[in-house]
Amino acid sequence: MSDIKNNEDSFHKSRYAEILENTRSFIENYLQPNKNWDLGLSPKDRMIKLKYSDVNYREVSDHIKSLTYESFLKTPYWRAITSYKKYLAGFRCQVCNSSSGLNTHHRNYEIHGYEHAHLNELVVLCHECHNLFHARSIQTKNQSLTEFLFILLNLGLISLFFVFFS
Ligand SMILES: [Zn+2]
Ligand SMILES: [Zn+2]
């Protein structure tokens, strides 16, 4: 075997070991319920760590999906994402502009485990609007109505819709 081939092999081995180690530490630091973030990090820095770490995201996602939803909500991962979304929304409900009882709602659960890469599939809602969204989606089970509501939401016309159709 040539030296070049040997060097290449050991390069791949050490890259593999490095990604493995980074993935282990990502899971250890960001996916343990109730673990705290380093207080020196801004919401944006936290998002950067979640989004651009040199890890195996498939493994990260599998780990997230293995958690109960309740545990997931307590992870530094989700807490960083939800605070960043609220910060981007100006700490207001994206439907009615209320500033109380804010939650980050999944428009689409298929992104579960990959939330960091799909921030646009998450929306900040107050408690009342959140209940309304869940009630509507259960009531209608109608994907096109939900999509229509999001178009209205994006146009800022959602309150009009509820005035006409309630
Ligand atoms: Zn609201
Ligand atoms: Zn929700």
Is the confidence at residue 163, as pLDDT, over 80?
A: no
- Of the listed ranges 7-16, 26-35, 131-140, the one predicted with least confidence: 131-140
What is the predicted pLDDT for the residue at 111? 97
Instruction: State how far the Cα of 97 lies from the Cα of 120, in Å rounded to an integer.
Output: 18
> What is the number of structural domains in the chain?
1
Cα-to-centroid distance, 32 and ligand 1 (Å): 30
Cα-to-centroid distance, 127 and ligand 1 (Å): 7
What is the predicted pLDDT for the residue at 147? 61
Cα-to-centroid distance, 7 and ligand 2 (Å): 51
Which tens digits make up the pLDDT trace of 104-130? 999 999 999 999 999 999 999 999 999
Is the confidence at residue 145, as pLDDT, over 90?
A: no
Q: Quick one: what percent of the chain has pLDDT higher than 70?
A: 81
Q: Which amino acid is at 135?
A: A
Q: Coil, strand, or helix at residue 106?
A: strand
What is the predicted pLDDT for the residue at 106? 95
What is the predicted pLDDT for the residue at 12? 79
Cα-to-centroid distance, 113 and ligand 2 (Å): 16
Range of the domain at 88: 3-165
Q: For residue 140, give Cα distances in angstroms to 86, 111, 120.
A: 28, 22, 23
Please name which ligand lies nearest the alpha carbon of 106: 2
| Mean pLDDT value across the chain | 88
What is the predicted pLDDT for the residue at 124? 98
Which tens digits make up the pLDDT trace of 62-80? 999 999 999 999 999 999 9
Which tokens is 31 given?
Answer: 């996916």
Token match 């307590």: residue? 74
In 3-state terms the chain splits into helix, strand, coil percentages (rounded to 5) of 65, 5, 30
- CB-based contact 50:116 (threshold 8 Å): yes
DSSP 94: T
Q: Coil, strand, or helix at residue 104?
A: strand
Q: Other C-beta atoms within 10 Å of 59: how many?
A: 15
